[in-house]
Amino acid sequence: MRRFNPNWFKHVHNKALKMCEDLMVQNQHVDVAFTRHLDEKRLQYRIHLNASIDCVHFLLRQGLAFRGHDESEESKNQENFLELLRFLGDHNGTIHDVLQSAPKNLKLIHSDIQKDIVKVVAKETINAIISDLGDKLFAILLDESRDISMKEQMAIAFRYVNKKGSVVERFIVVESLFSKYGLSLQKIREQGYDGTSNMQGQYFGIYIRCFAHQLQLALVTVAKNHVEICLFFNLVNSLLNVVRASCKHRDILQQKQLDKTTLKRPSDTRCGSHYGMLSSLLDMFSPMIDLLEFIMEDGVNAGHRAEASSLLDAILSFDFVFKLHLMWKVLGITNELSQALQRKDQDIVNATKLVKVDIPDINDFNSFIAFDKQKLIRMVEFYPLEFSSVDRLVLDSQLDTYIIDMRSSDEFLKVTRIVSLADKLVEKNKDVVYPLVYLLIKVALILPVATATVEKRAFSVMKIVTNRLRNRMGDQFMNDCLVTYIEKNVFNSISNESIMIRFQNIKNRRGQL
C-alpha cells in the first residue's frame, strides 16, 4: 500500500495555480499571439509597399523607364525600379530586413504591380485636378502629335480660374474624359484647337483657333496670294529638296558649316517655321552655293546638274537676295508677336491688343481711361447661361458702383493686368461684393489665347517619356506616366497613404494593410 504524500498534492496544486495565472494573463493567449504576428506582417507589408511607391514616385517624376531587358537575379543591372528598391534597402535597415524576409509570392516587384501603382498615382493626380476644377466654368485646349512609335496622341488642357482668382491650366490625356470623370459639357465656355481646323465650337461657347496659328496662316495666305513672293518660296523649297535629296548632300553642307545648322521644311501652321527656315538659309548661304557648285560638277546625272545650275543662277540674283532679306525682316517682326502670343501667362485682353482686335477691353477696369460699359454689357450677351436678362440689368448698375470703388483704392489703381486684378479682387473679398463683375472677369480669363502650352508642355514631355528605348509602351501606361510627369506639382501633393489605400481597393491583394 502506497503511503500518502502531502507534497505531491501541493505540487499538483501549485502547477494548476500557475496554469490558471497564465490563463489569466491575456497577452499570452493564442489569439493574441496570432494577432501580434498578423500585425507584424501587416507592418512589414506596409513598409514594403511604401518603399515600392517611393520608387515609382521617383521614376515618374524624373520621366525614367521602369524596366529593362534583363531583370534576372544574375543580372549585373536589373534596371531602374529594382535597382532603386535595392538602393533604398541598402540605406535603410528596416526596409532591407522587410525585403529580405518577404515571401516569394509577395515581393511587390512584378511589372503588373508597378503598373497598378502607376495607374493609382495617375488616378489620384487626375482626381485632385478634377476636385480643384469642381463645377467652375472652363475652357478646353486640344492638340495632337505623333509619338516615337508614330501613333497619334491627343492631349487636353483645362483652363479655369481657381478659388484664389488665378488662371490654371491642367493637363489630362483624353480617355473617355467627360463621362469617366463626371465633367459637364454645360460648363464649357471656350474651345481652343491647334491645327484641327475641321473642329467646330458647337458646345456652349466660343470656338477659338490658336492666335499664334491664326497669325501664321494669315502670313502664309498673304504670301501665296502675291505671285512674286509665292515664286520666291517655291524656289526656297526647291533648294530644300536639293539639300534633303541625299545624306551626302547634307554631309557636304555640314562640313562647310561648322555649327552644323540644319534646314527644316517650313509648315503653314507651325509658328515661326518660315522665319526659322529663312534665318538658317541666310546663315548657310555661302555653304549652299558651294553645295550647288559641287552638284553641278559631280551630280549623278545631267538632270541633277542642270537643276543645280538653274538654282545657283537664281539665288545669286539681286531679286532673290532682296526678297530673302525682305521676308526675313517681315517675318522677324511677326515672329516676336507669335512668341508673345504663345507665352504661358498670356491672356485674351493682351492678345487682342497685340493683334489689334477691337473687343471690349477688360483692362480698362484698371486704367479707367477709355472705360466703355456698353461694350462690356454687349460682351455678356455671348454668355446667356451665366448672365440672364435680369443679370445684365444688375451688372449695369454694379459696374457703376465698382468703378467708383476701384478709383478710390490706391491698391487697385496699381493693378495693370486682368490676371492681377482677379487675384486682388479675391484677396480683398471684392469678388463677393461684385459677383457679376468678377464672373465677367473669369469668363474673359478662361478665353484661350494659344494652344502652344499644350504643345510645349505635353508633347515635349512625350519625347522624354516615350523615347527610343520605350517605344513599345502600352497606351494606358504611357498616359499615366505623362499625366504624372506633366502635373508634377499636383502629383507631389498626393500622399503615399492615399495611394496605398486605393492600390489595395482596386483588386484583392495577398498582403493587407
**The predicted structure's pLDDT at residue 403:** 84
Q: Which residues pair with 430 in a beta bridge?
A: none
- Give residue 157's pLDDT: 80
Range with lowest mean pLDDT among 160-174, 276-290, 322-336, 462-476: 462-476
Short-list 324, 296, 298, CA closest to 310? 296
The cell for 418 is 486682368
Instruction: Tell me which of 1 and 224 has the higher pLDDT.
Output: 224
Instruction: Give 215-227 pLDDT, tens digit per residue.
Output: 666 676 776 677 8
Helices (H), 301-434: 302-315, 318-341, 348-354, 364-367, 373-379, 389-407, 410-413, 418-427, 430-433
Q: Is the pTM of this model over 0.85?
A: no
> Residues 375-394: what's their mean pLDDT?
85
pLDDT at 53: 93
Choose between 278 and 471: higher pLDDT: 278
* Least confident piece of the model among 156-165, 355-364, 470-479: 355-364
Burial (CB count within 10 angstroms: exposed 0-12, middle 13-18, buried 19+), residue 396: middle
> Among the ranges 101-105, 132-136, 171-175, which has the highest mean pLDDT value?
132-136
For the chain, what is the mean pLDDT?
76
The dihedral of CA 301, 303, 309, 314: what is its sign?
negative
Residue 255 has pLDDT above 60, yes or no: yes
- Compute the distance between CA of residue 218 and CA of residue 42 in angstroms, rounded to an integer: 65
pLDDT of 289 higher than 90: no
pLDDT at 451 over 70: no
Determine contact, residues 186/164, Cβ cutoff 8 Å. Answer: no
Range 66-83 average pLDDT? 82
pLDDT of 328 over the 80 cut: yes
- Taking the C-alpha atoms of residue 318 and residue 219, their distance in angstroms, rounded to an integer, is 24
Look at 166 and 266; give whichever has higher pLDDT: 166
If you average pLDDT over residues 270-278, what whole number do you get?
69
For the chain, counts of helices (H) and of strands (E): 26, 5
What the block records as the C-alpha cell of 22 is 497564465
Confidence category of residue 500, pLDDT binned at 50, 70, 90: very high
Cα angle at 147 between 143 and 152, to 5 degrees?
A: 55
Which of 28-32, 159-163, 200-204 is modeled with the greatest confidence?
159-163
Sign of the dihedral through C-alpha 383, 385, 391, 392 = positive
pLDDT digits (tens, 9 = 90+) for 119-145: 999 999 988 988 888 888 888 777 666
Check whether 26 has a pLDDT greater than 80: no
Q: In terms of pLDDT, which residue wins out, 45 or 447?
A: 45
On the 0-12 / 13-18 / 19+ scale of CB atoms within 10 A, 510 is: exposed
| Of 29-38, 87-96, 470-479, the least confident | 29-38
Q: Give the pLDDT band of residue 30 (cuts 50, 70, 90).
A: low
- The residue with greater pLDDT, 174 or 51, is 51
* CA distance linking residue 205 with residue 184, whole number of Å: 13
